[in-house]
Structure 1
Amino acid sequence: MGTIIGEAITEGIITKNPFAGYEPERPERQQKYLTRKELNKLMTTPLVTSKQYLIRDLFLFSCYTGIPYCDMFKLTDGDVSVAEDNVVWIKTFREKTGMDYEIPLLELPLLILERYRGTASGGRLLPMYPNGELNRELKNIARICGFARRLTWHCGRHTYATEITLSQGVPIETVSRMLGHSQISTTQIYAKITNDKIDEDMKMLEKRIAGKFKFAI
């Protein structure tokens, strides 16, 4: 666009850039992660069918591990290991990039794995539906929970990066490794600092510096 306008000015067709000073209106970015309040509502709201409960649990597994659909689909017992301190890990690689990733499992994903143990075919850990079917049912679940915005499967990965890890003080380098990213810049796309996190950090800062500075009156 700039080149065309420059040529038009050079040829005398116009005398100045008609778009000088114009800033196009940018659409408001949609929040792609669930807040703590929304996560709690998702976990406690009664659903209608057993299929919805299963899909909700699968989605929560993604929210608390950051594992995307294609990698959850292929998880097997061989991807799970127990460390000397009894922490259960998922250690495998990203289907999309081939990058290795290692994730220590929190209590909720461990409960979900136990709940559906032995129900998936082919030695897989979880009984997954096709991605399109999951997203269609998530739309219904979001409506039942009273969420005003769209809920998609990929929202789980954003929730893990933002609400489950970064907002709880996990360094972005660690989050990047657990997400299987090769560059920190990729992780920053997922990372959003919430107002709750800012509030908590400032309260901690206030406690640390209390009494350390004197104000002369």
Structure 2
Amino acid sequence: MSKLENDTWILFYIKRSKLLKNGDAPIFVRITVNKVRAEFGLKKSVVPDLWNESKQRVKGKSTSAEDINAAIEKTIKKIEATTTYLSMQDVELTSELIKENIVGKKEDRRTILKIFKTHNENARKLIGIDFAEDTVERYETSFMHTKNFIKWQYKREDMPLDQINPHFISNYELYFKTVRNCSHNTTVKYLKNFKKIVRIALSNDWIKKDPFVNIKLILEPVDPVFLTNEELLTIINKKITIKRIEQVRDVFVFCCFTGLAFSDVKTLRSKHFSLENDVDTWINKKRTKTGQLSTVLVLDAAKRLLEKYKNHPDVTEKGMLLPVISNQKTNQYLKEIADICGIDKNISSHSARHTFATTVLLENDVPIEVVSKALGHSNIKITQHYARTTQKLIKRNMEKIKSLY
């Protein structure tokens, strides 16, 4: 056995127990790194008696012996070059990685992207059963980020599971925060998606150690963005001449008056509406995300928007009630809308839900228990994150006791 740098050993040997039909013994190569072995065949064979075990070469000077010995020398140089190259990369040097770079990876070898892709394909089949469409889309986005990261960081198309370690996770986190310029919370959400794929590998015993074992994925508390009544009216009354932006504005305003999340307004259908006393229209819809029932009285402002788009192609042809585009495009256009309305807030589709809870309901003295039911929350603690106690609300309540003191 000969030693290379980085505690890497090479051994050439024959398998006398697996002789070929002509009596030759196949020659194998064993690479050992940190006492972990990986083996592969040299695709050469020799008469067992002609093999020199101490020199790891074929005896004699026949054409066949020289050919095999030259193949051994060539393999040693290839392993040396591969070891040097991998040592310069930001990867953990393993015997399996060296072998993979020499002979190529086995098609049936488990890799992180293969498992990720299979998970996403199965999740897409379960849309409406165990998964919401938006959830599957988030996993598909996470898959692309993982693929791009592996290509950027490791110059590879995929990664074997035994190389998904804490160092990989640290590099992945750094990639999101620097290369992708993601916030801490966005980074955490992507890493949580990736962690689920790792858990699948762990539960199937495909990997032995959890790379997330000492990594805590904690979201930082963030004050939700919502519109004041004045800002909401500014957006409603703003004349917008570009149709696609006007439609995004109208869908956003509809959500401000109903509290529907983006995924819920996207899947809103006529079956979710009911009429009471031929006057009041209600939306009774299970939330796409949680399955909790939300019950909302449809205000006249929201009714007018439904009437406005009743002849839109998305409504007449697809069964939708409003022309809802993708969440990504919606958020992009909402930033434009905020700019043209002079609103210095980073509003998104989810800001409508916070606006509904705080500005539309809470500031108009709607009890938080009712707000919770309208939002489809399972408990009031969740609602308290949505419904903010504003200065306006504090002032109005303080006015009630001002004369007492």
TM bucket (normalised to shorter chain) is 0.7 to 0.9
Name which of structure 1's ranges 82-91 and 54-63 shifts more when overlaid on structure 2.
Answer: 82-91
Matched-pair identity in %: 34
Which structure ranks higher in relative contact order (CA pairs < 8 Å, sequence separation ≥ 6)?
Answer: 1
Q: Measure how far apart 1:122 and its partner are.
A: 2.2
Which one of the candidate residues 270, 274, 290 is aligned to 1:77?
270
Q: Closer, same or farther in 2 for the Cα pair 1:31/1:178, shift >3 Å?
A: closer
- Stretches of structure 1 lacking an aligned partner (at least 5 in a row): 1-26
> 2: CA distance between counterparts of 1:105 and 1:65?
7
Q: 1:35-114 to 2 correspondence within 5 Å?
A: 35-84=228-277, 86-114=279-307
Q: Closer, same or farther in 2 for the Cα pair 1:33/1:73, shift >3 Å?
A: same
The alignment partner of 2:294 has SS state of strand
> 1: CA distance between counterparts of 2:311 and 2:321?
7
Q: Closer, same or farther in 2 for the Cα pair 1:90/1:198, shift >3 Å?
A: same
Q: Measure how far apart 1:127 and its partner are.
A: 1.1
Q: Measure how far apart 1:203 and its partner are.
A: 2.4
The alignment partner of 2:319 has SS state of coil
> 1: CA distance between counterparts of 2:226 and 2:276?
30
Aligned residue in 1 for 2:358: 162
TM-score of the two chains, using structure 2 as the length reference: 0.43
> 1: CA distance between counterparts of 2:278 and 2:365?
22
Contact residue 47 and residue 144 of structure 1 kept, 8 A:
no
Q: Measure how far apart 1:138 and its partner are.
A: 0.5
Contact residue 33 and residue 159 of structure 1 kept, 8 A:
yes
Confirm whether residue 132 of structure 1 aligns to residue 328 of structure 2. yes
Contact residue 176 and residue 183 of structure 1 kept, 8 A:
yes
Deviations 1:157-216 (A, max 9, x none): 00001111011111111111110111111111112111111122222445xxx5xx6x9x
CA RMSD, Structure 1 to Structure 2 (Å): 1.9
Contact residue 363 and residue 393 of structure 2 kept, 8 A:
yes
Bigger radius of gyration? 2
Q: Measure how far apart 1:102 and its partner are.
A: 1.0
- Stretches of structure 2 lacking an aligned partner (at least 5 in a row): 1-219
The alignment partner of 2:394 has SS state of helix
Aligned residue in 2 for 1:188: 384
> 1: CA distance between counterparts of 2:339 and 2:284?
35
Q: Closer, same or farther in 2 for the Cα pair 1:94/1:162, shift >3 Å?
A: same
Aligned length: 183
Contact residue 65 and residue 160 of structure 1 kept, 8 A:
yes
The alignment partner of 2:296 has SS state of strand
